[in-house]
Amino acid sequence: MTMAREGLVLIRALVPEGFDEYVAKVERGLDDPRYFSLVKRMWRAAEWEPDDPRVDELATALADHYLAHPALLPIPAGLRSRTDGAIRHGLLARHGEEQKPA
């Protein structure tokens, strides 16, 4: 099973009521060339040094894009309404960390 498929299975298990919303959000993101480019840069940023000036530039660009397009925010609404949402979000956020560069 690929990491992407594992992630979808995990999201469906942890936030079943928000799964369709999450998939729709991913589809909207794929249709947004600027957002898609920012996400690709974000994944590459894991290889940058912490003091690399591109980190601040990328963080600003992502924040600006999320402010302009809040529907792309990566936290499913189903997590925000749960009492254990922070725990579930932590599981999702850390999924695959061992496979990414530090």
> What tens digit of pLDDT does each residue of 59-91 get?
999 999 999 988 887 666 655 566 666 666 566
Q: Where are the domains of the chain?
A: 3-99
**In this predicted model, what pLDDT tens digit does every residue of 15-64 receive, in sequence order?**
777 778 777 777 888 888 999 899 899 889 989 998 999 999 999 999 99
**Residue showing tokens 């079943």:** 16
- pTM (two decimals): 0.59
In this structure, how many other beta carbons lie within 10 angstroms of the beta carbon of residue 93? 11
- Is residue 76 within 8 Å of 22, Cβ to Cβ? yes
